[in-house]
Structure 1
Amino acid sequence: MEARANPDRRSLHQRILSDVEGRILSGEWSPGYRIPFEHELTAQYGCSRMTVSKVLNQLARAGLIERRRRSGSFVLRPHSQSAVLEIRDIMVEVQALGLAYRFDIVKRTRRQANRSDLDRLHLDKSVPVLELACRHFGGDQPFCFEERLINLDAVPEADAETFAERAPSPWLVEQVPWSTGEHRIQAIGATAATAAALDIARGTPCLLIERRTWSAEQPITHVRLTYPGEGHELVARFAPSQG
């Protein structure tokens, strides 16, 4: 009688790698989840501990897990990427990582612009402004802290908007087409307020993106977007100068 061939022709290494990677990318094993110990995976797959160790090392090099001595291996938060020359919707950034997205508005203040507001918006006369603070989440963890100032002369509709259904950035893009944008990028240590908003320790390295946009010559908004530094990177595509 002819032996039936095993339909799964992958090596044990490939099979374990595919299984563990699949659980991470699908969200079944979310960031912070401790994956089974080496001896547990060895028993589960009936293989050598060396095979399991090689798989875990490969996943660590790919940035999917962190191996901690004596503690085990833990799923890392995926790195997100922002394009330097684009205005990206944070919801799209989060969902591209396979994480559930939500946001909440933690501050909403209408006032006449003070000196600091005028500097942020590049204005030389006082106007009514709306100040917002918003936390964006990827899964259960804070993903980005947004601090925004809106020129109500440019976007009077924002005065009545609660931002309960849509986050400020996509709402603004729909209301007022922007013609010019400016990005300023810094590495900073988290202030006390930022640390509390992002649920990180004060002084934790963060990536700060400051953006200012105009419609024709009229300033629309200035926003500070602060990301925990270990989980975010910036990407730009460019071409040689035609000089």
Structure 2
Amino acid sequence: MSDETTPPPDAVTGTGADRTLHQRILSDIETRIVSGEWPPGHRLPFEVDLARRYGCARMTVNKVMTQLAKAGLVERRRKSGTFVAQPRAQAAILEIHDISREVEQTGLPYSYTIVAHAQHRATAAERARLDLDGSARVLAVTALHRAGPAPFCLEERLINLSAVPEAADADFSATAPGRWLVERVPWSAAEHRIHAASADASTAARLAVQPGTACLVVERRTWHNGGPITHATFTYPGERHSLVASFTPAGGG
């Protein structure tokens, strides 16, 4: 068992210049919870003690705790402290989140850049992802979203140009493709597929991680009145991201 009064080595030194202090604290605590080192019901050190340990302002620690609470990993109890939350068995209902809001909730500035942008006739694999016929054309957009200076998420998106022809002339340098679609195209159904994957060389370079790093991958498809609109793949470095979901009790009143 490790001494909980001593932070992991990289809590102080970090593992790279791209990792902020906020991210290191978040990663340290998430790792201890997910690994079971801090089991459900374990009381976390007080914010003032964590701030002293990491040599930072208490507000930085408070933002980390707020993020962990929103993710359902900890429970904050007035006058008692912060405790590792009990696991929940309910099914998750995922919403379509704006990545910029995800980043802003961490307290870090958001930015993004377009890495690739091209129109072409859909390949067999792309037709399968969007349920398109052989003559369909798509717009393929790759965007890198950042939290502060660090990569936060790699977005790879296909847009069905027969459903959204105006996307062909859209300027995504000012508005990210996901937000652009939400603002202009209504969707009536969505599907999420979530899985883990090891970063290949290209993905690792863009996310500033080592090849083979475990990543969280969220695939999303949306439709309007039965017609496919877009397929997007979001790849997050696993240690820097936690999935936030809403829960409702089955048959609850």
TM bucket (normalised to shorter chain) is 0.5 to 0.7
Deviation at 1:105, TM superposition (A): 0.2
Return the alpha-carbon distance in structure 2 between the equivalents of residues 55 and 194 of structure 1. 37
Number of aligned residues: 186
Deviates more, 1:75-84 or 1:133-142: 75-84
1:228 and 2:219 are equivalent in the alignment? no
Aligned to 1:131: 140
Deviation at 1:126, TM superposition (A): 2.8
Aligned to 1:189: 198
Return the alpha-carbon distance in structure 2 between the equivalents of residues 164 and 171 of structure 1. 11
Return the alpha-carbon distance in structure 1 between the equivalents of residues 204 and 197 of structure 2. 12
Aligned to 1:204: 213
Aligned to 2:101: 92
1:42-81 Cα offsets, whole Å, 9 max, x none, are xxxxxxxxxxxx7799428xxx959xxxxxxxx9995687
Asked whether the equivalents of residues 118 and 126 of structure 1 are also in contact (C-alpha less than 8 Å), the reply is no
Name the amino acid aligned to 1:59: L
Q: Which has the higher strand share?
A: 1
Aligned to 1:17: none
Return the alpha-carbon distance in structure 2 between the equivalents of residues 194 and 178 of structure 1. 29
Deviation at 1:145, TM superposition (A): 0.3
Task: Using structure 1 for the length normalisation, give the TM-score.
Answer: 0.68
Return the alpha-carbon distance in structure 2 between the equivalents of residues 84 and 227 of structure 1. 19
Q: Secondary structure at the match of 1:153?
A: coil
Deviation at 1:205, TM superposition (A): 1.0
List alignment gaps of at least 5 residues for structure 1.
Answer: 1-28, 36-53, 67-74
Return the alpha-carbon distance in structure 2 between the equivalents of residues 33 and 203 of structure 1. 20
Alpha-carbon RMSD: 3.2
> Structure 2 matches for 1:10-159, cutoff 5 A?
30-31=20-21, 58-59=49-50, 85-159=94-168
Aligned to 1:72: none
In percent, how many aligned pairs have the same letter?
A: 48
Q: 1:178 aligns with which of 160, 183, 187?
A: 187
Query: Does the C-alpha gap of structure 1 residues 117 and 137 become closer, same or farther in structure 2, counting only changes over 3 Å?
Result: same
Asked whether the equivalents of residues 155 and 175 of structure 1 are also in contact (C-alpha less than 8 Å), the reply is no
Aligned to 2:42: none
Q: Secondary structure at the match of 1:233?
A: coil
Task: Using structure 2 for the length normalisation, give the TM-score.
Answer: 0.65
Deviation at 1:130, TM superposition (A): 0.3
Max Rg structure: 1
Return the alpha-carbon distance in structure 1 between the equivalents of residues 136 and 206 of structure 2. 28
Deviation at 1:241, TM superposition (A): 3.5
